[in-house]
C-alpha cells in the first residue's frame, strides 16, 4: 500500500479497520491496495478499473456496461454458503454449517494468494441511510472491480461515516476474491465458498462473481443483520418498501416479503406508486410506530420479461442513458437483449455462454436462451422516476401494511387479510414457494419458505418468529398483514391472473387500511368482496372482472389448504415454536375442517361464506 492509500486508512482512526485490512493483505497477497473514499474521483476509479480488467465492457448507450458471470455462477450457491459455527446449534431449520476452525482453514487456503497480480479495493459503506439510527457500517475488501462498482450503485458510500465510529469495531466486514479469472470470469468454481462468521460479523467469499454470492453488502450482510436484529429487538427482512398512492393523494407505506423471483420488485414497481426499496428492509419501532428503511439505494433486479408493458419504469431506465450494469444478457453490436423484452432478438451475439447463436445447445442438449433466466440489471434507485420522496429519509417511512407472498400454483388465494397480527405472522411464517432460477439447482420444487427468508435466517426459527409476534408490543398503530399469491393456476396449468392484477390487490389492501371495503371472513382470513374488486378492476386496469373469474380465483381450495396445513404440522412438530404460532396453526386447521364438513371437498365459493 502506498503512502496516499495508507493515509486514507489512517484518517479513519480505527485500529480494527487497520487490523482487518492488514490481515487481508497478508492472506490474499495483492499486487496493490487501493483505499476508496466517498470522493467522485475514487468512485470513478473503480468504474474505470472494471472496464480495464475486463470484468465489464462498455455498451452503446452512455453509462451502460455489460458484465458476465461464469456459466455455472448464475445464481446464489446455497450448497457452498455456510455458517462457521464453533458448536452445533439447533435452529429448527436446516442450515448449512461447517465447524469454524475447519471452515476457516479451508476458505483461507482458497483465499491465500488469491489476489496475486491484482488490485485489492478497500471500500466503506452504510447499510441504510447515513446519519440514521438504522445505519450499519460495512467494510468490503474485494479484488473485483465489478463487485465494488455494483456496491457503489447499490449502497450508500460511508468512508466519512466510518470516521464517526470513533475507533469502534461495530462494523460488518466482507472479504471477497473472484479468484482466478479467464475472460473476466471466475474459473475455479469447484472451490467457490461463502462462509459466514456470525460471532465476528464477517463473511469470506471466494471464487465467484454472481452478486448474490460475491457482494458482501447484499445477502451476506443480510444474514449478519438478521442475527444482529434478533439480538437488538428490530427486524431485518427480505422486503420491498413502497408508497401506495390511494384516493385524495394519500400515501400509505407497505412492505412486502417474497422469495427471490416471485414478484417483489414488480410489486414495488406497480405503476402509479412510489418505490423506497425492492429487496431488503430494516424495521424498527420508533415512538410506537414501525418504521422501515431500505438498506440499499439501488436495484439488482431480474431482467427477464421486463418490457414496456409489464415494467414501464424499469424498461425506460434500461433503454435510456444512465449508469446501468447489465449482467448475463445477450449483447449484439453493443446493444443488450433479453428474453421477454418484447422486441426482436438477434440470432447471434455474446451471452453468458460465450459466443451465442439461436439454437445453441448446452451439454445436456437443452437450448440456451439468449439471456439467463436470472440475468439482471443493476441501477441506482434515483435513476427511476418513481422513486419515493422519502427513500433516503434517515427516519424511514411508517409501515401500515405488510404483504407476504410465494409462488404457489395450486393452493393459496390471490389476496387475503389476516384476522389479527398473530394470524398474519402465521400466514407469513407458512409461505410455501416453488424454487426459481435465482438459486442454483432444480426449479419449480415446492419449498417451505417462512417470511420468504429461509435462505437467510441466521437465528433459530422459533425465536425469529417470536420476534415478529412480539413486535406489536407498545405499538400505537398495528399494521395490517396480507398474504398474496400471484401464481395461482387452473387445472390446465394456466395462470388465473395477469401480471397487472396485483395492482388491484394492492389498492384493495390500501383501502382496507382505512376501513374502506367490507370483507368476507373465511377460515384463512378476510377476502375481498366481488363488487369492490369489480370496481377496482375497471378503475385501475379498465378491465371487466367477471363474477366467474372472482369465483375461480377466490374459492377456497379446502382440500389443498388442509394438505398444506398437514405439511406445516409435520414441519413444525419438531421445531420449538412460540405457543401463539402453534395456536394459529391449530385454529386455522380446525376452521378449515369445519367448512369442509359443512360444504364438502370441492373448492368453496366465497359466496357460500356469506351464509355462515
Ligand atoms: C435474491 O435472490 O433474492 C436477490 C438477488 O435479490 S441475490 O440475492 O443478490 O442473488
Ligand atoms: Mn432478494
The residue among 299, 302, 468, 300 whose CA lies nearest residue 399 is 468
Does pLDDT of 7 surpass 80?
yes
Q: What is the pLDDT of residue 338?
A: 98
Catalytic pick among 108, 262, 363, 370:
262
Does pLDDT of 612 surpass 80?
no
Name the closest-CA residue to atom 2, ligand 1: 260
Q: What is the pLDDT of residue 171?
A: 98
Q: What is the pLDDT of residue 557?
A: 97
Task: In whole angstroms, give the CA distance from residue 175 to residue 111.
Answer: 9
Q: What is the pLDDT of residue 611?
A: 67
Query: What would the pLDDT profile of 405-456 be if each residue is shown by its tens digit?
Result: 999 999 999 999 999 999 999 999 999 999 988 888 889 999 999 999 999 9
Regarding the beta carbon of 281 and ligand 1, being less than 6 Å apart is answered: no
SS3 453: coil
Instruction: Report the alpha-carbon angle 518-479-229, nearest 5.
Output: 155
Regarding the beta carbon of 264 and ligand 1, being less than 6 Å apart is answered: no
Helix (H) or strand (E) holding 240: strand 239-245
CA 377 to ligand 1 centroid distance, Å: 12
Residue 359: how many CB atoms within 10 A of its CB? Answer: 8
Regarding the beta carbon of 76 and ligand 1, being less than 6 Å apart is answered: yes
CA 219 to ligand 1 centroid distance, Å: 7
- State mean pLDDT over 150-160: 98
CA 438 to ligand 2 centroid distance, Å: 9
Regarding the beta carbon of 545 and ligand 1, being less than 6 Å apart is answered: no
The grid coordinates listed for 338 are 433479453
Name the closest-CA residue to atom 1, ligand 1: 260
Per cent of the chain over pLDDT 70 is 100
Averaged confidence pLDDT in the chain: 96
- State mean pLDDT over 544-551: 98
| Distances from the Cα of 423 to the Cα of 407, 482, 526, angstroms | 20, 10, 11
Best probe residue, ligand 1, of 260, 294, 302, 304 (max atoms within 8 Å of C-beta): 260
Q: How many CA atoms lie within 13 A of 586 on its CB side?
A: 8
Regarding the beta carbon of 211 and ligand 1, being less than 6 Å apart is answered: yes
CA 438 to ligand 1 centroid distance, Å: 6
pTM value is: 0.97
CA 605 to ligand 2 centroid distance, Å: 35
- From the alpha carbon of 280, which atom of ligand 1 is closest? 6
Name the closest-CA residue to atom 3, ligand 1: 260
- From the alpha carbon of 438, which atom of ligand 1 is closest? 2
The pLDDT confidence band at residue 6, using thresholds 50, 70 and 90, is very high
| Active site annotation includes 262 | yes
Best probe residue, ligand 1, of 74, 75, 76, 213 (max atoms within 8 Å of C-beta): 76
The grid coordinates listed for 161 are 461515516
- State mean pLDDT over 569-588: 96
Regarding the beta carbon of 448 and ligand 1, being less than 6 Å apart is answered: no
Regarding the beta carbon of 260 and ligand 1, being less than 6 Å apart is answered: yes
Name the closest-CA residue to atom 4, ligand 1: 260
- State mean pLDDT over 252-267: 96
Query: What would the pLDDT profile of 8-56 be if each residue is shown by its tens digit?
Result: 999 999 999 999 999 999 999 999 999 999 999 999 999 999 999 999 9
Domains detected in the chain: 3-56+71-232 (3.40.449.10), 237-297+391-611 (3.90.228.20), 300-383 (2.170.8.10)
The grid coordinates listed for 548 are 366467474
Best probe residue, ligand 1, of 78, 203, 211 (max atoms within 8 Å of C-beta): 211
Task: In whole angstroms, give the CA distance from residue 14 to residue 264.
Answer: 38
Task: In whole angstroms, give the CA distance from residue 46 to residue 594.
Answer: 62
558-577 as b/e, with b when 16 or more CB fall inside 10 Å? beebbebbeebeebbeebeb
Task: In whole angstroms, give the CA distance from residue 414 to residue 497.
Answer: 9
- From the alpha carbon of 259, which atom of ligand 1 is closest? 3
Q: What is the pLDDT of residue 382?
A: 96
Regarding the beta carbon of 212 and ligand 1, being less than 6 Å apart is answered: yes
- State mean pLDDT over 110-124: 98
CA 318 to ligand 2 centroid distance, Å: 20
- State mean pLDDT over 241-263: 96
Regarding the beta carbon of 218 and ligand 1, being less than 6 Å apart is answered: yes
> Taking a C-beta distance cutoff of 8 angstroms, is the pair 222, 238 a contact?
yes
- State mean pLDDT over 546-551: 98
SS3 221: helix
Query: What would the pLDDT profile of 197-249 be if each residue is shown by its tens digit?
Result: 999 999 999 999 999 999 999 999 999 999 999 999 999 999 999 999 999 99
Regarding the beta carbon of 296 and ligand 1, being less than 6 Å apart is answered: no
Q: What is the pLDDT of residue 184?
A: 86
Regarding the beta carbon of 373 and ligand 1, being less than 6 Å apart is answered: no
Q: What is the pLDDT of residue 320?
A: 96
CA 597 to ligand 2 centroid distance, Å: 41
Amino acid at each position: 500500500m502506498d503512502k496516499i492509500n495508507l493515509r486514507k486508512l489512517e484518517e479513519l482512526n480505527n485500529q480494527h479497520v487497520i487490523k482487518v485490512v492488514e490481515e487481508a493483505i497478508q492472506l490474499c497477497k495483492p499486487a496493490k491496495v487501493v483505499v476508496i473514499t466517498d470522493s467522485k474521483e475514487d468512485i470513478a476509479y473503480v468504474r474505470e478499473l472494471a472496464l480495464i480488467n475486463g470484468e465489464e465492457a462498455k455498451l452503446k448507450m452512455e453509462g451502460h456496461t455489460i458484465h458476465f458471470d461464469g456459466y455455472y455462477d448464475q445464481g446464489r450457491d446455497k450448497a457452498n454458503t455456510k455458517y462457521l459455527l464453533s458448536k452445533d446449534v439447533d435452529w429448527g431449520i436446516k442450515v448449512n454449517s461447517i465447524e469454524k476452525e475447519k471452515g476457516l482453514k479451508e476458505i483461507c487456503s482458497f483465499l491465500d494468494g488469491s489476489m496475486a497480480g491484482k488490485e485489492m479495493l478497500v471500500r466503506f459503506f452504510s447499510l441504510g441511510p447515513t446519519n440514521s439510527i438504522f445505519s450499519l457500517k460495512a467494510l468490503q475488501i474485494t479484488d473485483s472491480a465489478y463487485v465494488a462498482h455494483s456496491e457503489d450503485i447499490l449502497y450508500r458510500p460511508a468512508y466519512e461515516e466510518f470516521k464517526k465510529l470513533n475507533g469502534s469495531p461495530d462494523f460488518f466486514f466482507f472479504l471477497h476474491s473472484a479468484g482466478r479469472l479467464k475472460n473476466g470470469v471466475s474459473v475455479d468454481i469447484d472451490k467457490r465458498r461463502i462462509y459466514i462468521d456470525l460471532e465476528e460479523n464477517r463473511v469470506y467469499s471466494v471464487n465467484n462473481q454472481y452478486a448474490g454470492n460475491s457482494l458482501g453488502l447484499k445477502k451476506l450482510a443480510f444474514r449478519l443483520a438478521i442475527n444482529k436484529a434478533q439480538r437488538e429487538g428490530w427486524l431485518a427482512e427480505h422486503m420491498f418498501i413502497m408508497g401506495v398512492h390511494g384516493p385524495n393523494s394519500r400515501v400509505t407505506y407497505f412492505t412486502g416479503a417474497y422469495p427471490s423471483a416471485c414478484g417483489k420488485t414488480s410489486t414495488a414497481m406497480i405503476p402509479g406508486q412510489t418505490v423506497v426499496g425492492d429487496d431488503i428492509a430494516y424495521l424498527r419501532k420508533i415512538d410506537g410506530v414501525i418504521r422501515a428503511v431500505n438498506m440499499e439505494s439501488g436495484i439488482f433486479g431480474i431482467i427477464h420479461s421486463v418490457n414496456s408493458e409489464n415494467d414501464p419504469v424499469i424498461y425506460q431506465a434500461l433503454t435510456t442513458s444512465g449508469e446501468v450494469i447489465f449482467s448475463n444478457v445477450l449483447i449484439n453490436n453493443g446493444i443488450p437483449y433479453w428474453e421477454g423484452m418484447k422486441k426482436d432478438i438477434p440470432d447471434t451475439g455474446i451471452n453468458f455462454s460465450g459466443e451465442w447463436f439461436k439454437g445453441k445447445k448446452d451439454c445436456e442438449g437443452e437450448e440456451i436462451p439468449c439471456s439467463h433466466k436470472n440475468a439482471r440489471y443493476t441501477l441506482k434507485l434515483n435513476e427511476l422516476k418513481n422513486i419515493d420522496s422519502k427513500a433516503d429519509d434517515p427516519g424511514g417511512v411508517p409501515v401500515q401494511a405488510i404483504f407476504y407472498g410465494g409462488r404457489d400454483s395450486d393452493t393459496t388465494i390471490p389476496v387475503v387479510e389476516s384476522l389479527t397480527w398473530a394470524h398474519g405472522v402465521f400466514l407469513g411464517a407458512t409461505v410455501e414457494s416453488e424454487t426459481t432460477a435465482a438459486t442454483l439447482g432444480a426449479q419449480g420444487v415446492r419449498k417451505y419458505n417462512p417470511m420468504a427468508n429461509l435462505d437467510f435466517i441466521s437465528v433459530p426459527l422459533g425465536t425469529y418468529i417470536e420476534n415478529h409476534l412480539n413486535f406489536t408490543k407498545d405499538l400505537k398503530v398495528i399494521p395490517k398483514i396480507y398474504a398474496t399469491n400471484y401464481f395461482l393456476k387452473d387445472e390446465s396449468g394456466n395462470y388465473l391472473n395477469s401480471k397487472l392484477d396485483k395492482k388491484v390487490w394492492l389498492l384493495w389492501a390500501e383501502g382496507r387500511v382505512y376501513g374502506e371495503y367490507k370483507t368476507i371472513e373465511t377460515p384463512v382470513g378476510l377476502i375481498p368482496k366481488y363488487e369492490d374488486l369489480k370496481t377496482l378492476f375497471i378503475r385501475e386496469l379498465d378491465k371487466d372482472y367477471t363474477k366467474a373469474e372472482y369465483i375461480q380465483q377466490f374459492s377456497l381450495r379446502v382440500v389443498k389448504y388442509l394438505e398444506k396445513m398437514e405439511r406445516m404440522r409435520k414441519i413444525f412438530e419438531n421445531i420449538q415454536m412460540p405457543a401463539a404460532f402453534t395456536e394459529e396453526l391449530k385454529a386455522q386447521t380446525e376452521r378449515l375442517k369445519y367448512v369442509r364438513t359443512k360444504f364438502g371437498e370441492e373448492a368453496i365459493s366465497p359466496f357460500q361464506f356469506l351464509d355462515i
